[in-house]
Amino acid sequence: MYDFLIVGAGFSGCVLAERIASRLNKRVLLIDSRNHIGGNAFDYYNEHGILVHAYGPHIFHTNSKKVFDYLSRFTEWRHYEHRVLANVDGCNVPIPINLDTLNKLYGMRMSSREAEAFLESVRVPVETVSNSEEAVISKVGRELYETFFKHYTKKQWDLWPSELDPGVCGRIPVRTNRDGRYFMDRYQAMPKNGYTEMFKKMVLHPNIHLMLQADFQSVKQLVPHQFLIYTGRIDAYFGYKFGKLPYRSLRFVFDTIDREYVQETGTVNYPNTFDFTRITEFKHLTGQVHRKTTIVYEYPSSDGSPYYPIPSKDSAQLYAKYKAEAEKLSGVWFTGRLGSYRYYNMDQVVGQALTLFETTIPHATVKEGIGAYD
């Protein structure tokens, strides 16, 4: 008999397993249908000995001291600030758009103040921003929108920016200084020995029993448990009874080249050319020294694993139906990117899991008479 069955050994499942096992002293069965822990943040050394991310590049960044301190119990860090270039007409320019992007693109030598005035002159005033197209044109106007966002977004989501919530493209800032970092967060770092090593430390506790290649459907009847934490797809849990929540998938194509480096920065985006969206070279992210290098191409696709919940009005309505069903259950919690159908970053799912642990779970265990929170 387990106190908790946790479905999914990604960030969400590992954080909750660790908290419940170590702080509540409860017995946890942590399962995953894959043959590894770490969820989409899983990394491994490939056949050339290069550390790669199996499900696309994962760069850790957060403004939350709480999240950073929590994860720091399980890993040391390597400071890393991600930089991205966009390949436009064969020329690489910084993305997010900044002063250097504008000057390179237009062959000018504007100052920050002139760039501000330029953007002011091209931006399209929008009273209430209601989609991703408006989020971008209200900041940089139509031409820059079309160069950097319109076609990349269509490739990535198979939707136009006008069909997506403002936050999708709106999460990419616009700058008039020369800051070329992709993220502005206070903490920007990669786990020194990789994500998988960090996850191994999180789940190394006598109260945690790990079962891989185990799907919820086949385990749920066999393993008695009092509580359930579900970090898989919420629509799958309910047998898709209201219809499938839409997801965007990716196909990852890896290539190892007999050269130390092949591109000048971690990621190069291809907004208007090719079927892939971006190429990432892992050694920039990990700092690994190796005479060869591995890159990954990301090809968006409608079939495959559910990587990206689609932030749109229609999908939010459908999700609300599943959420209402979930709220009728007792002793079952849905969390994480799939469980809450949110386009969350890693730090956000860690924050969400910690909050769930602090606010809800101990009280439930006390209510059910299986123990108190120390």
- Binding-site ranges for ligand FAD (CB under 6 A): 7-13, 31-34, 39-41, 55-59, 215-216, 231-232, 250, 307, 336-338, 344-347, 349
Going by C-beta distance under 8 Å and a sequence separation of 6 or more, which residues neighbour residue 230? Answer: 7, 8, 216, 237, 332, 333, 334, 335, 339
Toward ligand UDP, which CB reaches closer, 158 or 215?
158
39 interface partner picked from ligand FAD, ligand UDP, none, CB below 5 to 8 A per type: ligand FAD
- Tokens representing 266 are 């971690």
Q: How far is the CB of 307 from ligand FAD (least distance, A)?
A: 4
- Is 169 a binding residue for ligand UDP by CB under 6 A? The answer is yes
The strand order across the sheet containing 247-257 reads 91-95, 84-88, 267-269, 278-281, 293-301, 247-257, 308-309
- Is 280 a binding residue for ligand UDP by CB under 6 A? The answer is no
Toward ligand FAD, which CB reaches closer, 58 or 155?
58
Contact with ligand UDP (CB under 6 A) among 8, 13, 271, 300 = 271
Contact with ligand UDP (CB under 6 A) among 149, 252, 344, 357 = 149
Neighbours of 207 (CB within 10 A): 17
Going by C-beta distance under 8 Å and a sequence separation of 6 or more, which residues neighbour residue 281? Answer: 261, 262, 263, 265, 266, 267, 293, 294, 295
Toward ligand UDP, which CB reaches closer, 38 or 57?
57
Instruction: With CB under 6 A as the rule, give the number of residues binding ligand UDP.
Output: 13
The Cα angle at residue 264 between residues 259 and 270, in degrees rounded to 5: 105
Going by C-beta distance under 8 Å and a sequence separation of 6 or more, which residues neighbour residue 322? Answer: 234, 235, 238, 242, 245, 341
d(CA 57, CA 211): 26
Contact with ligand UDP (CB under 6 A) among 168, 203, 295, 296 = 168
Reduce the DSSP state of residue 263 to 3 states and report it.
Answer: coil
- Is 28 a binding residue for ligand UDP by CB under 6 A? The answer is no
Q: How far is the CB of 32 from ligand FAD (least distance, A)?
A: 5
Question: Could you tell me where the beta strands, DSSP code E, fall in the chain?
Answer: 2-7, 28-32, 43-45, 51-53, 61-62, 77-79, 84-88, 91-95, 187-191, 208-212, 225-230, 247-257, 267-269, 278-281, 293-301, 308-309, 332-334
Q: How far is the CB of 128 from ligand FAD (least distance, A)?
A: 29
- Is 148 a binding residue for ligand UDP by CB under 6 A? The answer is yes
336 interface partner picked from ligand FAD, ligand UDP, none, CB below 5 to 8 A per type: ligand FAD
Query: Tokens 């786990």 appear where?
Result: 191
Q: How far is the CB of 351 from ligand FAD (least distance, A)?
A: 11
Q: How far is the CB of 209 from ligand FAD (least distance, A)?
A: 14
Q: How far is the CB of 269 from ligand UDP (least distance, A)?
A: 4
Contact with ligand UDP (CB under 6 A) among 153, 231, 293, 294 = 153
Q: How far is the CB of 363 from ligand FAD (least distance, A)?
A: 23
- Tokens representing 94 are 């910084």
Contacting positions for ligand UDP (CB under 6 A): 86, 95, 148-149, 152-153, 156, 168-169, 171-172, 269, 271
